[in-house]
Structure 1
Amino acid sequence: MSDKKPKREAPHSVRLSVDERARYLLGAAGMPLGAFFKMCADLYLDLPTVRDRNELTPQDRDSLARIYNWLGTSRIGSNLNQIAKAINERTITVTPETEAVVCEASRALITIRDILLTLLPKKRRR
């Protein structure tokens, strides 16, 4: 009995002009070109794509890092907590407009959190 591995098929190659390569690299948004071409072909042929939807491109990771950094250094949550504390202690007068603004800000933060959680890979969610 032989332990030889089956011979792999020869890889396919595509010749691209400099302009084509630049255009495809831009469209790939950080993905390797081979994976990008496979994904495009699968989409064109209406086949299920192999790429894990929770895999983030380098641009996505950079954007998420900037957003997390901004949210971490912003005082939005702290400011809302101070407003809520002042309302509970009745040290400020609450008008319908004030209440609407605070509720809208709270809903916006919850929405931002939910969107960011959907972008995180499943293994990193809590």
Structure 2
Amino acid sequence: MSRPAPFSLRLTPQERSQLEAQAGPMPLASYIKSVVFAAEAPKYRRQRKPPVAEQQLLAEVLARLGSSRTASNLNQIAKHLNQGTLMLDEDLAADLHRAVAEVAWMRVTLMRALGGKS
């Protein structure tokens, strides 16, 4: 079954502006359909904002990322592994353990913030 040809509607700039304001975040065509076909129009869910607790967890992860050198340390370790110049000493072992713990904490915290199981 083929789709019908598109329908075109000419509006003044003021009319278009008014329609866009009334539509809010809904796509303009969907808003027009919802007004014209009220009961039959598709229903769109609004994007939900994460609850405050989730926002706090996400902020904590971002703060931890910003204040740690985990990403930089992992990048340097990967670089040396690729070059074959990695020498494992106490400092590197400690960095690896810290990085693994940070990544594990971030994973669990992000999963909790996003409503998943950790």
TM-score of the aligned structures, taking structure 1 as reference length: 0.37
Greater C-alpha radius of gyration: 2
TM-score normalised by structure 2 residue count: 0.39
